[in-house]
């Protein structure tokens, strides 16, 4: 079972990222007209947006990656060497491996739909913000390796990204209801 503070760190990772980063190699797309307002599309289209976002997050930020994200900082901070760090991260990963019931849908489809009905931002803004956030988290996961034992600057950046005092960094071009779609996608 994960420690409560660790679960929050892993779950909050997507929300705490900057909206000015690169969108990554495999950007998420709704398949909708990017100039349309999200609230102006049909219920069926919004339902598909929620389903495809759930699929994208499951593929891009799977539970293994999120568990690694929450385990790596502790290993990097506590270890005296790369080998010790790798052992600590492996132990943490083993203890915090997700139970089979945790796999599957990450997005509450009803909440997602309710938020999208009130999301008056362009489709392009929603797609872009999600893609930049996912890319930022993936970059942080790649950076948090045991080769970085003792790297205080990296740990400070990770703490800012994963810290509870920065609950949600909003993309400036998103309405609050659209931002809630992103928030609810991860903090569920």
Task: Work out the mean pLDDT of the chain and round it to a whole number.
Answer: 78
Long-range CB contact pairs, 147-155, < 8 A, 24+: 147/82, 148/76, 149/76, 149/79, 149/80, 149/81, 149/82, 149/84, 149/85, 150/76, 151/76, 154/76, 155/73, 155/76, 155/77
If pLDDT is split at 50, 70 and 90, which confidence band does 169 have? low
Instruction: Report the C-alpha dihedral over residues 73, 67, 142, 179, rounded to 10 degrees.
Output: -100
> pLDDT digits over 5-44, tens only?
333 333 344 443 333 334 445 689 999 999 999 999 999 9
Q: Among all chains, which residue has been given the structure tokens 């810290």?
A: 163
The whole-angstrom distance between residue 49's C-alpha and the CA centroid of its chain comes to: 17
Tell me the C-alpha distance between 32 and 107, whole Å: 20
Position 113 pLDDT exceeds 50:
yes
**pTM attached to this predicted model:** 0.75
């Amino acid at each position: 079972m994960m420690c409560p503070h660790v679960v929050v760190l892993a779950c909050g990772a997507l929300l705490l990222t900057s909206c000015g980063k690169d969108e990554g190699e495999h950007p998420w797309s709704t398949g909708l007209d990017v100039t349309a307002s999200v609230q102006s599309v049909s219920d069926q289209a919004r339902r598909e947006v929620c389903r495809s976002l759930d699929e994208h997050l499951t593929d891009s930020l799977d539970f293994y990656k999120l568990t690694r994200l929450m385990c790596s900082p502790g290993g990097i901070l506590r270890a005296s060497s790369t080998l010790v760090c790798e052992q600590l991260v492996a132990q943490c990963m083993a203890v915090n491996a997700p139970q089979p019931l945790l796999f599957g849908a990450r997005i509450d489809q009803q909440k997602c739909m309710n938020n999208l009905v009130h999301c008056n931002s362009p489709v392009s803004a929603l797609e872009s913000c999600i893609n930049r956030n996912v890319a930022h988290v993936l970059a942080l996961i790649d950076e948090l390796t045991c080769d970085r034992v003792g790297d205080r600057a990296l740990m400070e950046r990770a703490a800012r990204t994963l810290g509870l005092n920065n609950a949600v960094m909003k993309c400036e071009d998103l309405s609050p209801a659209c931002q809630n779609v992103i928030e609810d996608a991860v903090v569920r």
